[in-house]
Structure 1
Amino acid sequence: MYQRVFRWVVVFVLTSMAWATGRPAIACDVPAPVKSIDPPGFYDDAAGYANAVKPMRGFIAQLNKSAETGQWSCALDLLTGWARADALMGPIKGYQGYYERSWAGTDFAMVILRMPSAVKAANADKFAIIDPWLERIAIATRDANAINHLHNNLVYWAGLNLVAIGTVTNQSDLIDSGLIRAREGINDIGPDGALAREVKRGNRALHYHTFALLPLVFTAELVQRRHIDLYQENDHAIARLANLVIDAVRDPASFAKITPIKQDLFPWTFQDELSWMEPYYAHTRDPRLPALIAPRRPFNEWRLGGDVTAAWGVSLR
């Protein structure tokens, strides 16, 4: 009899977990927390950089896959495990680590933002651990002089970090700090859609225009729920930058009007770093975009919660 009761209890618990997460419960191994993220610069030591970020990127890949497959119990275990260890909050001696921590915190928040409200409500105890950790990441990003002095795309990414985490934790001061950074980017966009600081990147100028557009679009999307329309600011500047990039995707030679320097692109520049097109198309229904989006789907950007198409995409028409 006791064995039957025990089996019934196990079935009940597993069924309840499946109902709460939307998927059957699975085992979830939490990787050892990365205490401090302090790699060499991306351009300084490519091999050393790749090796140093591998553990953190592995964690993010596991977290994003859990979100993509609806394994919310696993996603929460991952976040709670690293939050308890205050992961990524150790000292940084170089500069690249500040960027990596900012991007990681953005990803964590974007995963949570796609989490069903019922799951969040049922796990308030875990968010009591996760939220303060995310706030510490955001505050460290806000106060990072290694980012703030640059006044370029990394500042815009820091703005998205602050807005995303502020939205998750309902901290308006973080959102306000993020808006300052996003507006710096929007005000940097010239009449021709170019960003003067990114033009100075020489043969990587087009890549960095694309990379800069990502956080501006996603920040604009997130603050709409606060009735803030960043799309219309600086005379619809985000659209000017988007048009510049769209033209370059359709005809890379068109970027010669911005700089005569021949452009070199990373393999991901015109693939996953075009994931801004998903929310932008949903917002604008720009008729040029379906032909660019369709062959590239699904967009998967590790800084933005993984499968951007699943989270933000709409039917193309």
Structure 2
Amino acid sequence: MYRRVLQIVIAFVLMGMTWMFPRTAHACEVPAPVKSIDPPGFYDDAAGYASAVKPMRGFIAQLNKSADAGQWSCAVDQLTAWARANALMGPITGYQGYYERSWAGTDFALVILRIPTAVKAANAEKFALIDPWLQRIAIATRDADAINHLHNNLVYWAGLNLVAIGTVTNNADLIDSGLLRAREGIRDIRPDGSLEREVKRGNRALHYHTFALLPLVFTAELVQRRHIDLYRENDHAIARLANLVIAAVRDPASFAKITPVKQDLFPWTFQDELAWMEPYYAHTKDKRLPALIAPRRPFSEWRLGGNVTEAWGISLPNGPAQ
């Protein structure tokens, strides 16, 4: 009888503790590794594309969710499982898969940049699997003719992939290869802030100027750790491109000075693909940006490690960082 009473008392105490200290952790979901990412082109077969990238995007969503929740052990376990399977390194027969793998690798590296140093140190054996896998992704991106011949925004994204992975794995050769690609983008920026190849995208030109700016800003931020100031190069070219996009966000009609073609934007063009504003504002304190940033926070971009506001944002005038 005494034992039964004691069991009931303990049960009530535990229930009370549950009420007092609600669980904040989520179950650690590790989606099955995707061996190869080889979808049809985004513009070639929209339904086929969406279906083919869904498993990889599902993993990225879970990984970024772990990072956003500060569930670092889970994030490490998720990356370890995919590294052990050498995920995404299977053959690619088309071209879109090279872009997808580049974006995925960038996200993985930027999640790792969010992981506390103590967590990385405690999981050194797991990172001994993760780091070589990330470097294989970066090398495959570096050597992808499907990207390199384009000389457009996808080359700049490849540059960010190389710099981000090179940063987290301390691989100077990858960083140097990434810098070559970022500098190609910076040289491409014309005096009016436009990019010739992206202007040729017709009714998507404004979208692709915004999309091209993302990797250039994040690459510039990462290489500051190596005392390299990409913001100053080509007579502050990144600022010219940023000014062009900022003006278009404030007044889309302003982009008519770049092209008379009426512009169509994706729903995300002026939302999460403006995530570059977070590190750019932290760097420049541009007074035009708080009014554009505040109503859009938090920025969450699947290619950039999840919650960009949390990882890169600073307090706005009269407002919190998030």
Q: TM-score range by the shorter chain?
A: over 0.9
1:162-311 matched pairs, under 5 angstroms: 162-311=162-311
Mapped contact 2:166–2:172 kept (Cα < 8 A): yes
Q: Does 1:71 align with 2:71?
A: yes
Alpha-carbon distance in structure 2 between the residues aligned to 1:76 and 1:287: 38
Mapped contact 2:221–2:279 kept (Cα < 8 A): yes
Partner of 2:113: 113
SS at match of 2:303: helix
Return the letter of the residue paired with 2:281.
Answer: Y
Shift of 1:27: 3.6
Partner of 2:5: none
Instruction: Give per-residue Cα distances to partners, 1:99-154, cap 9 Å, x unaligned.
Output: 00000000000000011001001110000000000000000000000000000000
Mapped contact 1:36–1:91 kept (Cα < 8 A): yes
Q: Does 1:143 align with 2:143?
A: yes
Alpha-carbon distance in structure 2 between the residues aligned to 1:258 and 1:222: 30
Shift of 1:184: 0.1
Partner of 2:127: 127
Alpha-carbon distance in structure 1 between the residues aligned to 2:178 and 2:62: 27
Q: Number of residue pairs matched?
A: 295
Alpha-carbon distance in structure 1 between the residues aligned to 2:269 and 2:177: 28
Alpha-carbon distance in structure 1 between the residues aligned to 2:66 and 2:78: 9
Partner of 1:36: 36
Return the letter of the residue paired with 2:71.
Answer: Q
Structure 2, unmatched stretches of 5+, are 1-22, 318-322
Shift of 1:29: 2.8
Alpha-carbon distance in structure 1 between the residues aligned to 2:122 and 2:139: 27
SS at match of 1:316: coil
SS at match of 1:263: coil
Mapped contact 2:38–2:97 kept (Cα < 8 A): yes
Mapped contact 2:25–2:69 kept (Cα < 8 A): no
Mapped contact 1:25–1:71 kept (Cα < 8 A): yes
Alpha-carbon distance in structure 1 between the residues aligned to 2:26 and 2:267: 34
SS at match of 1:41: coil
TM-score of the two chains, using structure 2 as the length reference: 0.91
Percent of residue pairs identical: 88
Return the letter of the residue paired with 1:176.
Answer: D
Mapped contact 1:231–1:238 kept (Cα < 8 A): yes
Return the letter of the residue paired with 2:172.
Answer: S
Runs of 4 or more consecutive aligned structure 1 residues displaced over 3 Å after TM superposition: 23-27
Return the letter of the residue paired with 1:262.
Answer: K
Return the letter of the residue paired with 1:89.
Answer: M
Mapped contact 1:25–1:73 kept (Cα < 8 A): no
Return the letter of the residue paired with 2:133.
Answer: W
Instruction: Give per-residue Cα distances to partners, 1:238-262, cap 9 Å, x unaligned.
Output: 0000000000000000000000000
Shift of 1:84: 0.3
Structure 1, unmatched stretches of 5+, are 1-22
Instruction: Give per-residue Cα distances to partners, 1:168-224, cap 9 Å, x unaligned.
Output: 000000000000000000000000000000000000000000000000000000000
SS at match of 1:304: coil
Shift of 1:25: 6.3
Partner of 2:104: 104
Shift of 1:268: 0.2
Partner of 1:12: none
Mapped contact 1:26–1:74 kept (Cα < 8 A): no
1:7-46 matched pairs, under 5 angstroms: 27-46=27-46
